[in-house]
Amino acid sequence: MLKILVCVKQIPDIDLVKMDPETGNLVRAGVPTLTNPLDLNALEAAVQVKESYGGEITLITMGPPMAESTLRECLAVGGDEAVLITGRPFGGADTLSTSYSIVKAADMEGRFDLIFCGKESQDGATGQMASQLAERFDASQVSCCLSIDEIGDGKLRATRVLETGREIVEATLPCLLTVEKDNFYGRLPSLKDYLAAKTAPITTYTENNIDGLDLNKIGVPGSGTIVPKIYPPELPEPGRIIRTGSVKSDVAALMDVLTEKGAL
């Protein structure tokens, strides 16, 4: 039976995150959260593998206690076990330290044959986690996977999407994959699974109960990068707004511009 790990992340709705013009800090208070959309494609790929080849799916996330709701959402559509890594010392982590924390906690749950993650998160959007997790899991990696064509014999065959075509690769297990959404659109839970997920047990790890966790490698101390400054993007001066009173006359004015500029 395949042991499958799916890494998921709860993120703020970035459309609603604002920057405090006084302090220059991001205001996240009161901003609704969601499960990173690309992680749901990764979960769907894992569920399809489980349906075809058999297996058990463990979900893992790191975040504040409320990230539990993301785990429950994912349990409802095919996860079997769920792991939450939480605790102040993990906060402020970049990908170098997050990947370390996730792998140390995952090791507590045994060895995984397949690891799935989203291509990137909508909020941080570095797209670095997958490769860094693969390195720390000592796994092969298949990024931008369009389809998983065959699994067996300690190997898998998959199709990757590159800039100018598709690449067929063969990778040994354990293997970490990120997926394209084309064949892995997420699914909705049944009412039964939705209700079961509400009360399913969740394994929680903190900085105190992960074997061999080096506190210097987690959170801010373990991060390679920092963000010393954020600022609003400098915007150019607005262009000329055509405002003549009606759509018809606005478009007529635009036609004049296009003609004058030789664009037609």
Partner 1 sequence: MQKSDYKNMWVYVEHDGKTAAPVSLELCCELRKLCDKTGDKLFAVILGPLAGDQIEKILDCAVDGVIEVSGTGYEYFNTDAWANAFTVLSRKYNPSAIFVGGTVNGRDFAPRFAVQLDTGCTSDAMELEYDPETGDIQFIEPAVGGKIMAVITVPALRPQVGTIRPGTFKYAPAGRKEQVERIREEINFDPEAIRCRHLDFIPDESDPELDIANADCIVCVGNGLKDSEHLERYRTLAKLLGGKIGCTRPLYDRGILPYKLQIGQSGVMVKTKLYISFGVSGAVNHTAGVDAELLIAVDKNPEAQIFNYCDYGIVGDMDEVCDELIDQLRAAGK
Binding to partner 1 (CB under 8 A) within 156-175 occurs at 157, 160-172, 175
Which DSSP state fits 68?
H
| Residue 15 binds partner 1 (CB under 8 A) | yes
Q: Which one, 192 or 248, has the nearer CB to partner 1?
A: 248
Q: Which one, 191 or 226, has the nearer CB to partner 1?
A: 226
Total number of residues that touch partner 1 (CB under 8 A):
80
The Cα–Cα gap between 208 and 127 comes to: 29
Residue 181 Cβ vs partner 1, minimum distance, rounded to whole Å? 8
Q: Which one, 84 or 93, has the nearer CB to partner 1?
A: 93
Residue 135 Cβ vs partner 1, minimum distance, rounded to whole Å? 4
| Residue 258 binds partner 1 (CB under 8 A) | yes
Picking from 166, 172, 147, the residue whose alpha carbon sits closest to that of residue 158 is 147
Residue 196 Cβ vs partner 1, minimum distance, rounded to whole Å? 29
Which two structure tokens, joined as six digits, stand for 207?
Answer: 């900085």
Residue 77 Cβ vs partner 1, minimum distance, rounded to whole Å? 18
Q: Which residues of 131-155 are buried (b: 16+ CB within 10 A; e: fewer)?
A: bbbbebbebbbbbbbbbbeebeeee
Picking from 119, 113, 117, the residue whose alpha carbon sits closest to that of residue 175 is 113
| Residue 191 binds partner 1 (CB under 8 A) | no
Residue 227 Cβ vs partner 1, minimum distance, rounded to whole Å? 5
Instruction: Please tell me whether residue 99 adopts helix, strand or coil conformation.
Output: helix
| Residue 187 binds partner 1 (CB under 8 A) | no
- Find the binding residues for partner 1 in span 52-91 (CB under 8 A): none
Residue 179 Cβ vs partner 1, minimum distance, rounded to whole Å? 13
| Residue 150 binds partner 1 (CB under 8 A) | no
| Residue 195 binds partner 1 (CB under 8 A) | no
Q: Which H or E run includes 144? A: strand 140-152
CA 169 to chain CA centroid, Å, is: 23
Picking from 61, 162, 165, the residue whose alpha carbon sits closest to that of residue 118 is 61
Q: Which one, 74 or 129, has the nearer CB to partner 1?
A: 129
List CB contacts of 51: < 8 A, sequence separation 6 or more.
Answer: none
| Residue 220 binds partner 1 (CB under 8 A) | no
Residue type, 27: V
